[in-house]
Amino acid sequence: MKDLSEEAEQTEENQNNILEIIQVKNLKKRYKHITALDGISFSVKRGEVFGFLGPNGAGKTTMINILCTLALADSGLAYVNGYHVINQSNLVRESIGLVFQETTLDNHLTAEENLYLHAMLYGVSRKDFIERKREILKLCELWGKRKMKVESFSGGMKRRLELTRALIHQPQILFLDEPTIGLDPQTRKKIWDYIFTVRKKENTTIFLTTQYLNEAESCDRIAIIDHGKIVAIDTPENLKKMIGGDIIIFKTENNKQAEKEFRKKFPQYSIKWIGKELKVEIDDNGDKFLPILVKAITPHITSMQLRRPTLEDVFLEITGRKIREESNGKIEEENKDFDITSLFSLFNFSETEEKNDLLDDKQKNDE
């Protein structure tokens, strides 16, 4: 990792030359008696899609909140686009877009008005807003819905609008906290199509948290976090190579006897219990090993499955449990009390900033 303090002093015109756009070193954060982040260190390259994978309560939202200057770490260093998240927090905020886990749109405003409010707070000029609005609303297929109030939108449309809103000021980094949670598979796929289009068109760095394994498969790299620690970080393919070749999962009328016979006849392979089933990891050519296994095991086999390793297998191998299994205690990652002063501290207001009426749409020649 590069020297963090040196990068923080770079001038604005050199920001685009920073290869590691997010840098985190030994970050720690506790909530009462629970450790949310326990010495986290990693970096994210400019332009990549980086996934933070872990179960509920693993510390994913805490990590995003710290990087987006919404929470303070107890110790450690964090730099976003070369800026220190504490000492240069305003510059960090100018560099990022953020889609929260929960919807934060104003349902009483139209889609266009929601975008205009966000653009005004970020100091986007009216001229730039009109051009940018058309571009990103069409990208997310919401141009025809721009005059509609958000309260009439479906969950998928609201999520697409939040993505659009986060992009209105052309951020260097887009943070997505569980961006597709609660959406149906078809809508989730559409959201991902938009994310990759943005990444390709604008070279935006994507940092997302997720507990959906198929979403993590689409990332360039993944960090697996569990109990506040990063337990693995690599590309999806390299992580799956940790498991080996093929995986056989089977169930018999007497699994204990089957396990005993397998260990005796195939000592070169490991066998594990997965619930009420047995799991075997072997080299490639699992299809050739299947008939050998069937003949070698005395108890009657009631079910058998052969497949390649998945990220679920990786998570299970590393943590000892499935990603959907709940932990005993969940991390208190956010304060539910709304603080209006914290909201306004996110934005830099200038006294000379143009104060236009949000509802003055007739003056916008954007048709």
Q: Which residues contact 309 (CB under 8 A, 6 or more apart)?
A: 240, 241, 243, 244, 245, 246, 247, 281
CA 36, 41, 45: angle at the middle one, nearest 5? 120
Asked if the domains at 4-236 and 244-308 fall in one CATH topology, the answer is no
pLDDT at 179: 84
| Res. 214: pLDDT tops 90 | no
- State the average pLDDT over residues 106-116: 93
Question: Checking DSSP bridges between strand 270-274 and strand 277-282, what pairing results, if any?
Answer: antiparallel
**Do residues 139 and 202 lie in contact, with contact meaning Cβ atoms separated by under 8 Å?**
no
Q: Greater confidence, 48 or 190?
A: 48
| Res. 220: pLDDT tops 90 | yes
Ramachandran angles phi, psi of 257, nearest 5°: -65, -40
**Longest Cα separation, the chain:** 83
Percent of the chain with pLDDT over 90: 44
DSSP summary character for residue 149? B
| Res. 91: pLDDT tops 80 | yes
Fold of 4-236: Rossmann fold (3.40.50)
**Do residues 179 and 99 lie in contact, with contact meaning Cβ atoms separated by under 8 Å?**
yes
Instruction: Return the domain boundaries, the chain.
Output: 4-236, 244-308
Which tens digits make up the pLDDT trace of 231-289?
999 999 898 888 777 889 999 999 999 999 999 999 998 898 888 999 998 877 788 88
| Res. 292: pLDDT tops 50 | yes
- State the average pLDDT over residues 110-138: 91
Alpha-helix runs per DSSP H in 41-184: 60-67, 89-95, 111-121, 126-139, 155-167
List strands edge to edge, sheet with 277-282.
Answer: 270-274, 277-282, 246-252, 301-307
Q: How confident is the model at residue 110 (pLDDT cuts 50, 70, 90)?
A: very high
pLDDT at 298: 93
Instruction: Say how far apart CA 364 and CA 146 lie, in whole Å.
Output: 13
3-state SS, 171-182, equals: CCEEEEECCCCC
Which tens digits make up the pLDDT trace of 26-71?
999 998 888 999 999 999 999 999 999 888 778 888 999 999 999 9
pLDDT at 8: 44
**Residue 273, burial from CB neighbour count under 10 angstroms (0-12, 13-18, 19+):** exposed
In CATH, the number for domain 244-308 is: 3.30.70.3400
Lowest mean pLDDT among 190-194, 304-308, 354-358: 354-358
pLDDT at 324: 54
Q: Which of 315, 307, 310, 312 lies closest to 246, judged by CA? A: 307
